Amino acid sequence: MKITKVEVFRLPTANSRQNSPIGCRVYTDAGIYGDGEAGMAYGVGGSAAFGMVCDLAELVIGMDPLGTELIWETMYKKTFWGQNGGPVVFSGIAAIDVALWDIKGKYFKVPVYQLLGGKVRSRLRTYASQLQFGWGRVGVSEHLWAVTPEDYAHNVKLAVAEGFDAVKIDFFDRDEQGRPLNFLDTTGFLTPKQLKMVEARMKAARDAAGDEVDIIMENHSYPDALGAVQLAQLAEKYRILAFEEPNTPTAQTVEYIAKYTKVPIANGERLFSRWQYAGYFGKNLLQLAQPDIGNCGGISEVKKICDMAHAFDVGIQIHVAGSPLATNAALHVECAIPNFVIHEHHTCNRMDTCLGLTKYNLQPENGWFSVPEEPGIGNEFLREAIEKAVMYKMIE
């Protein structure tokens, strides 16, 4: 079996400049195809990821798609910029790698998790992610962006009412008037007024959640180490499960933050390979690793990171913030590893921007996900969505 061509596309959504998925479809001479996704749909840089998938596709034409290790190393070592690369390189590798695992599962007529060692668990505990953006109904774009403590409490109650026993919230992304904070607001020591605002929101969320619901505190790497320590000390008071992305991730600064807090540190969506994770694991600077399959080299690389984490007693929560295709890929890896902790279900996967892109848009039931049982990853991009692509290229 050989790879004959690769279709690369960027799909339109309601906000196509800031949140449009970058996907690929890898075709074979056996009539089997597989789909993958590059994890740079949001923020700035999506067009670069699109270009990287196109460039990497040229390297794999004619290769055996079942040789995922050989193809991964070829993409990593033959590109010059792959080694110690960043999100663009590893997003490009990821898209093709996930598509190859999809092909492999279909070829052997089994779900991908069977090829990763089989299920360790059948159901995956899930948390409602990014509640500061709201928690509306599936397919409804009107979400309440939390500003007041009452807003935070409202969004938490919506998730808990659906059966979630864990949520994630950024308490420090907007001011009390609802204006987005910028780097001047979040850098350095935080003011008493800022800390009072954060604590009021945190307390409201905890009161709404009750004692039996876990809360993860998100910070999107906005603070630096100085402010992160102040936020971490607040978090201890409200029994925060984990402090996610407390600052721009460097091993040295995370080590400083960890000295001053008992709250477990979660990090990983801005770490892009096993080599970048190694320094954190070696110094026990992470308690919850969060590699993103879409920007961390795909299933091949993320499975290696999960196994490495297991040797250091580090838990795993795959970072999931892509299209519904990314959800399927994450579920296959998470169910097959012993050190899984919890699955992320992003509020964006409930908005209308996620509809009409993929064959399935899986949703958890009562805060738990089941694992897809179809061959491959169990999902694919819709042909009608690909035909509306805002960027498109076929590599043969």
31 CB contacts (<8 Å, ≥6 apart)? none
Same domain, 96 and 119: no
Q: What is the pLDDT of residue 166?
A: 98
* Residue 82 counted as domain residue: yes
* Residue 375 counted as domain residue: no
Same domain, 290 and 340: yes
Same domain, 291 and 391: no
The CATH number assigned to the domain holding 342 equals 3.20.20.120
* Residue 180 counted as domain residue: yes
Same domain, 155 and 140: yes
* Residue 266 counted as domain residue: yes
Q: What is the pLDDT of residue 141?
A: 57
Same domain, 153 and 133: yes
Q: What is the pLDDT of residue 135?
A: 92
pLDDT at 15 over 90: no
d(CA 18, CA 222): 19
Same domain, 246 and 329: yes
Query: How many domains does the structure of the chain reveal?
Result: 2
Same domain, 105 and 120: no
Judge whether 341 and 286 are in contact, CB under 8 Å. Answer: no
The burial class, CB within 10 Å (0-12 / 13-18 / 19+), for 183 is exposed
pLDDT at 177 over 90: yes
**214-242 confidence digits (pLDDT tens):** 999 999 999 999 999 999 999 999 999 99
pLDDT at 339 over 60: yes
Name the one residue in this structure whose structure tokens are 């026990």: 284
- Residues of the chain with pLDDT > 70, as a percent, come to 97
* Residue 14 counted as domain residue: yes
Same domain, 98 and 127: no
Q: What is the pLDDT of residue 13?
A: 74
Same domain, 238 and 98: no
Which secondary structure element, helix H or strand E, spans residue 169, and what is its range? Answer: strand 166-170
d(CA 323, CA 22): 9
Same domain, 285 and 389: no
* Residue 73 counted as domain residue: yes
For residue 375, the 8-state DSSP code is S
Q: What is the pLDDT of residue 395?
A: 98
* Residue 303 counted as domain residue: yes
Same domain, 208 and 241: yes
- Name the pLDDT band for 140 (thresholds 50, 70, 90): low
Which amino acid, one-letter code, is at 387?
E
**247-293 confidence digits (pLDDT tens):** 999 999 999 999 999 999 999 999 999 999 999 999 999 999 999 99
Same domain, 45 and 122: no
pLDDT at 23 over 60: yes
Q: What angle do CA 119, 274, 300 make, to 5 degrees?
A: 45
pLDDT at 98 over 90: yes
The CATH number assigned to the domain holding 7 equals 3.30.390.10
SS3 321: coil
Q: Which domain holds residue 93?
A: 3-109+381-395
User: What is the token pair recorded at 340?
Assistant: 């899984």
pLDDT at 51 over 70: yes
d(CA 50, CA 57): 11
**345-366 confidence digits (pLDDT tens):** 999 888 888 889 999 999 999 9
Among 41, 35, 112, 101, CA closest to 331: 112
